[in-house]
Structure 1
Amino acid sequence: MNRNLFSILAIFSMALFVFVSCSDDDDFPAPVISDLEIGYDNSKVGYRGTDLHIDAEIVAEGRIDRIVLEIHHEGDHGHKSGQHDDHEWEFEYTWTEFSGLKNAKFHKHIDIPLDAELGDYHFHFKVIDMQGKVTEIETEFEVKNPENTNAPVITVTSAPSDGQVFHMGESITIAGTVTHEMALGGMYIGLVRADQNLEDADVNSSNTITLLHTHDYDSPTSHAFEATIVVGAEHDNNITPKPIDGDIAWQDAEYYILVKSRDAFGGPFGFSERYYIDIHMH
């Protein structure tokens, strides 16, 4: 009898030990996220056309199952219809590469589109462990245009010779490339009458004859161009061709061709040199 009782107590004690051990194993604290950095030096700023630096330390006693990041524009918080403005940027991704780890250094770079809407964004960073426990950090960061970008580089590969004479019906042509380190914006090539005395920055489609005006490029960072206009043409090559009359009407005069371009972020213009020619209408 005593032997049987001893056996029963031993089995009961072992079962209780296993139950307590399993319960202890399941009773891990939720994951801990520390030292979260958004943007370099935790500036909480990202720039269009670049990447967003994200860094965090993670400790999960219950072992990491997955890490989830969600980003959306502040104006889209709680938006459920699925209808978004063309330039609203959203990001959602789940990483499983850290699965099974208790400690992880999270370091990623997320591309911000060139046309991402400017302004404040919500940032949701979640760590889920293998027990289903979730730790989430919600914060905000701002998307801005890049600062201190360089002007586009304009390289002219073919142009009229200095002082070349063009007569009625002859074609004036210029060709070359324009490049930028991040993204090109607008580009304009104007035929300017020298006696207009315009500063290069003031040359535009309203006050000169347009050879080329575009915002469409071979790639975001480079474009090969060729622009031609015939002396005496009634309309120029503006995006919506305009009549060549009034203050910009053809004249017997000295002209020059100017190429100008700026980046997609409203930075400084780049300018070509002036290519001077003479136009004789008769």
Structure 2
Amino acid sequence: MSTKQKTKQLFNFIPVLLLIFSSCIDEDNTPKTLPAVSDIEVGLHNNEIGVIDDDFHFNAEVLAGDLLEAVQVDIIQRSEENYEKEWSFQIIFTDRIEGLKNASLHRHFSIPAEAPRGKYDFIITVIDQNGTSLEEVREINIIDAADYPEVSPYVSVFGIDKIDAEGKSGFNNFYNNGNFQNPNAAFFSKDESIWSTFQIGNTKGDGIMYGLLIKTSHNHKPENIEEIDFNKVIVTEYLEHNGEEEVFVLKNNRDTGHWNYGPVLKIGAEKDNNLPDPYSITESKDWENGSYYYGVVYTNLSYNRSTFKYITFEIKGF
């Protein structure tokens, strides 16, 4: 073969090499999908309390970008807090997680006897087999058993009715304590109405509860009433209690006269249910198609304890 022919073949081969090299670069630059975590419960009824030398409850729903590797929990001291001594804790879960696309975690572990009392960061890390990870930070208050609060409110009932445009409904026909009744129809449409059953257990004294509907695009899920940004939320109901001397269950039908439900809110209404002074549903809160958080937030003012719960569904028809 002549030098000229060899040179020609070499130049013909160069574009192939460049194409392969370019493909490798594109592949390396393709962003990897991050894992996700939702429905987190830190402590019994999500009370964010850990009792020294006792069982601790942790729940979460995790979804992989590719496939799950593990879920890691770290309990880390905060720089602004004072503790009797230095201490940290780590536990890694792989059983019924590794190699799965999604998993429901219901785990129990003990808070070690040597743990000093105080408030800590409770860090949840979801680790994916594609090399990515996602971190979510919550709070945990580690206490002695003798210091367990008399009042530790939690969401004991969370049910939703959908009332259609013709006024037809059914008991918790949309959602009931953790389950959509028809996952393929987990949405509300314009002119349908949302009608809920909320109950807050183990409360006393003074407290305030809100039902909230919030566009997920606002990235706003308040965990107590002080965190609520009323420029971003649609109030579906408001309820307060005062001077309750005994521990009781707060029910949102308390002031409605109905046997089970709070007030109704129509999807597309001009004003919300922040009674007696409703807010206009305009500007950043204006109705639109898309994903919404729906939840209940409660704060006990007498004992400075809060609880909350959110779900997500679509709104259509605008």
Q: TM-score range by the shorter chain?
A: 0.3 to 0.5
Larger Rg: 1
TM-score in terms of structure 1 length = 0.43
